[in-house]
Amino acid sequence: MIASSSDPYLEFLLDIKSEKHFRDENGRNFFDELAAMQERDDVYLAIRKKVNQRNAKDEDIRYFLFMGYVAYTRNAAASMEAMTTDLMPVYRSNTKNVLLAMKASPFLIEASCYYLGNYFGFEGKNKKGKSEFMQEITTHLKAHLSPEKVGLCLSSIGT
């Protein structure tokens, strides 16, 4: 599908090929996947900077989680690795807002919790602390989500 959109993550999720990323080379019109990926990376870095602060805006946190959802849904390895590393500090500094974002948009739960769980041991780092984290997040989840959504998150985190 070819369309004109302003959100590179929505385009990626829906497999929309934005006209701005088509190139004409020697009479051949082709979609420049690298240019589209670089645009997504620029947006990711800008939002990551905003959410890495205490009291980040709710809409920035939701969009950050949405970017993780898109990567998870599309199985975009590099983006998934970035979220695995980057979400935990955001969660730690904005726990309540992350949980409220998941409550408001439950489709974000599975991917977000997957990244939180993968943080432990990813690339041989952060091997300790998962059991303490599980106790902590279970308490927080129960305070904000339904039992069904708590179960989904915990199973996505894994043990």
Q: Which residues contact residue 120 at a Cβ distance below 8 angstroms, ignoring those fewer than 6 apart?
A: 126, 127, 128, 129, 130, 133
Residue with tokens 């199973």: 155
pLDDT tens per residue across span 92-102: 999 999 999 99
Tell me how crowded residue 115 is: count the other CB atoms within 10 A of its CB: 27
Determine the straight-line distance between the first and last CA of the chain, rounded to whole angstroms: 40
For residue 152, the surrounding DSSP H or E stretch is helix 147-157
pLDDT tens per residue across span 36-80: 778 888 888 888 898 998 889 999 999 999 999 999 998 989 999
Which 3 state secondary structure label does DSSP give 154? helix
DSSP secondary structure code for residue 3 in this structure: E
pLDDT at 104 over 70: yes
Strands annotated E in the chain? 2-3, 17-18, 22-25, 28-31
